Chains A and B, each alone.
Chain A
Amino acid sequence: MKRTLSHATKRQTPTESQSASAPTRSAPASPSFSQRRRVLGGLASGALLAPALKPAIAAAADAGPTLLTPAPWTLTPGDPLVASPYGMPGPAERDVIRRVARRPAMPGSGSSNTPLQDLVGSITPNGLVYERHHAGVPKIDADQHRLAVHGLVRQPMLFSIDDLLRLPSESHVYFLECSGNTASEWRGPSGLPLQFTHGLLSCCEWTGVRLSTLLDETGIDPSAHWVLAEGADGAAMTRSLPLAPILERALVVYAQNGERLRPENGYPVRFFVPGFEGNTHVKWLRRLKLIPAPEMTREETSKYTDLLADGRAREFVFEMDAKSVITRPSPGHRLTTQGYYAISGIAWSGRGRITRVDVSTDGGRTWRAARLTGAVQDRALTRFEADWQWNGGPAQLQSRAVDETGYVQPTREALVAARGLNSYYHYNGIQSWRVDADGEVRNA
C-alpha cells in the first residue's frame, strides 16, 4: 500500500510548530499537526487519511483498477550494507517526530512530546521517547561518571558504569509518564491533537540494576526511610522517595530497548521508579542518599504538588492512576468511507496491570469491552482494539481503563469534583474524540 507525503504544506521544524496560545477549535490544523498529512499504514483503501491526501486518492480512484507491474525498486539492486551504520526510519517517516507544544523560556528547560498518533503496539522507539529537562541535556563522559550511594548506609560506595554492568540485571517493559501529561484537558476539551494532549508518555524495555542490589553493597541503616535521588545535570534535579515501597522495584537503569540510554533520557544512568510520576525517575543519576525524612526539595514542594480548590495542595503524589486514550482515529485523522474501522488505543496504570478497557462510540452512553492485543504487562502500555462500523454519522469515541486493583478511569467531571480546576498534575480523565459527519476527528 502506498504511503504518501503531501508537499502542499511547507515543512516546519518542531519548534516552529509550537502554540502557546489558548487551545482553540483550529488547533488541530496548526502547522505542526497539519504537516503530518499521510495515509496511515495498515488500513484498506486509504480509508483513514489526513485531509490533504483526499483529492489525490480520489483522482487515483477515478483512474480505475491498477494493472500491477514490477515496481522500479524491484528491477535494480538496492543500497549496500551499512549505508546507514545506525539505521534510521525511511524518508517517508520524517514527520514521525517529537514535537514541542510550548516553546520554553529557557531552551533546555521544557518538554517534547511523543507522536502517539503514529505509533503502534506498546513500545516507544528510543528516538521518540518524550523529553522533560530542567537544565538541558548534559554531555556526560560515561567513563568518568560515578553514582554515589551514601547517607544512612553502613558503607558509602561509588559505582562506575562498568560496576553497574557487572551486577545482576533486570529488564522490564514499563511506561514513563510526566505527571503534567494531559493537563491541557482540566478545563474541558482543549482542541489539541493527541501528541499534545497525551504525548508526555512513552514505554520502553528498561534494563538496569535493582535499587536493593546496590543497597546490599552499602547496607541500610534502620533509620533510613527515604532516598534522595539527584542528577548530574545543571539543575542537579532532586527528588525524595519513600524507601519501603520502591526498594524491590526501583531500578538504576542504563539501557532502554536493548541499547544504552539516549543522552536525552539520562545517559549513562537514570533512576526508574515503575508507576511513579516521570520526574521521580531522575536522569543522569549521580547520587542516591538514604535519609530519615524527605528533604522537601523545590521539585517536591513548589513544583510537583497538586493544588486543590480550597488552596491547599497534595504533596508526594507519586503513582500514575489508570488511564487510556484512543490513538487511532484521533484528531487530524479523517474517515473517508463508511464501514469497518478498528478503534485502537493504549491503556496503562501505575498500580499494576490493565485488566479491562471499554470503548464507547456514543459519548459514554453505552460501552463494550475492547480486546487487549499483545502482552498485558505490569505498569506498561497495553494496546487495545475495538471493532466499529462507522455509519457516516456523528460519533463520540471514548475509552475507559480498569486496572487490577479495580480502579476505573474516571470522567473529567469526577476529577474536577474531587480536586477542582487548579490541580494541573495527574489528570487521567476519560478522553473524548468527536467524529463529525464529514469524517473529521476533533478534540471537542
Chain B
Amino acid sequence: MREQMHKRMIRASAVGVATLVSALFSAHAFAAGYGVGTPVPESALSAWNVDVAPNGRGLPAGAGDVAHGKDVFAAKCAMCHGAAGQGGIGDALVGGQGTLASDKPLKTIGSYWPYATTLFDYIRRAMPYNAPQSLSADDVYAVSAYLLYLNGVVPESTRLDAKTLPQVKMPNRHGFVPDPRPGAL
C-alpha cells in the first residue's frame, strides 16, 4: 500500500508535467492503474456537472429578477412552501432571523444559509420535488432572487446572474465554526 501511495504522489506531482506533454502521449500513457473505465472529455459531462461553488464556478448563463421569481414561486413552489415561503409540507424558506440562539430556532435561507450560490445549486438539481431539474436557468435565477427578496436580503429591483449571485451577502455568512472534535465534545 505504501508503494501505491508513493506512486500516486509521484503521479500527482507529474500532473503538471503531464499536461504540458499531453499532446505527445495518449491518456493512459501515464496511468499506473488498470486501464479500466472509459476516458471521457469534461465537456461530455456538462449535463451532470451541475454543482455551483461559492465563488460562482458552475453558474450558467441566464438571468432572472424578483418579479419573474414571484410568478415561478407561485406556480411551482408555493404549494409546498406556502404562499409567502412560510413553510407547509415543505420547509419554511423565509423568516427566523434572530432565532438561532433561542429555544425554537427557525433555520431558513434568510436566517441560516451562508451562501446564496447554494440556492441556485439546490433548486436547479432538486426542486420542485415532483419535477427536479425542470426549471430553466432563468427561472432558477429568478426564484433565487425572489426568495432572497422575501428574506430582506436583496431589494425588490434585484436581477441575478452568474456574476451577481455570488456577490450577495448572506446574513448568517459567518455563523459557522469548524468541528472541534476530537479533543472536545
Contact = CB atoms under 8 A, between A and B. Distances in A.
Given A155-B31, A159-B36, A301-B113, A319 B181 contact: yes
B129 A109 contact: yes
Contact of A311 (B51, B101, B121): B101
Interface stretch (B63-71, B146-154, B172-180): B172-180
B18 A301 contact: no
Interface in A272-300: 286-287, 289, 291, 293, 295-298
A314 B36 contact: no
A421 B15 CA distance: 48
B40 to A, nearest CB: 5
B126 A155 contact: no
Contact of A236 (B28, B54, B125): B125
Contact of B105 (A135, A307, A415): A307
Nearest to B31: A217
B40 A318 contact: no
A52 interface: no
Contacts of A315: 176-179
Interface string B1-40: 1001100100111011011000000011011111111111
B144 interface: no
Interface string A308-334: 111111111111010000000000000
B53 A166 contact: no
A311 B15 contact: no
A248 B3 CA distance: 13
A313 B15 contact: no
Contacts of A158: 37-38, 40
B52 interface: yes
Interface stretch (A80-88, A218-226, A335-343, A376-384): A218-226
Interface residues of A, number: 74
B141 interface: no
A254 to B, nearest CB: 14
A314 B176 CA distance: 6
B114 interface: yes
Interface stretch (A30-38, A227-235, A256-264, A363-371): A227-235
A247 B27 CA distance: 22
A357 B29 CA distance: 52
B73 interface: no
Contacts of A248: 1, 5
A150 interface: yes
Nearest to A315: B176
A167 B32 CA distance: 13
A350 B46 CA distance: 36
A87 to B, nearest CB: 34
The number of chain B residues touching the other chain, given as a range, is 35 or more
Interface in B122-152: 122, 125-126, 129, 132-133
Contacts of A298: 118, 121-122, 126
A163 B175 contact: no
A166 B37 CA distance: 10
Contacts of A317: 179, 181
Interface in B47-78: 48-54
A238 B125 contact: yes
Contact of B37 (A159, A220, A236): A159
A24 interface: no
A317 B182 CA distance: 11
A234 B36 contact: no
A156 interface: yes
Nearest to B34: A167
A312 B175 contact: yes
A314 B178 contact: yes
A291 B53 CA distance: 9
Nearest to A414: B185
Contacts of A417: 185
A163 B40 CA distance: 14
Contacts of B118: 296-298, 301-302
Contacts of B54: 293, 295-296
A230 B8 CA distance: 24
A213 B45 CA distance: 21
Given A105-B90, A163-B37, A220-B11, A305 B27 contact: no
B94 to A, nearest CB: 13
B20 to A, nearest CB: 12
Nearest to A232: B48
A3 interface: no
Contacts of A155: 27-28, 31, 39
A145 interface: no
Contacts of B27: 155
B48 A287 contact: yes
A106 interface: yes
B179 A316 contact: yes
A-B interface, 10 closest residue pairs, ranked by CB to CB distance from nearest: A311-B101, A311-B100, A418-B185, A105-B89, A216-B33, A298-B122, A217-B33, A236-B125, A157-B37, A315-B176
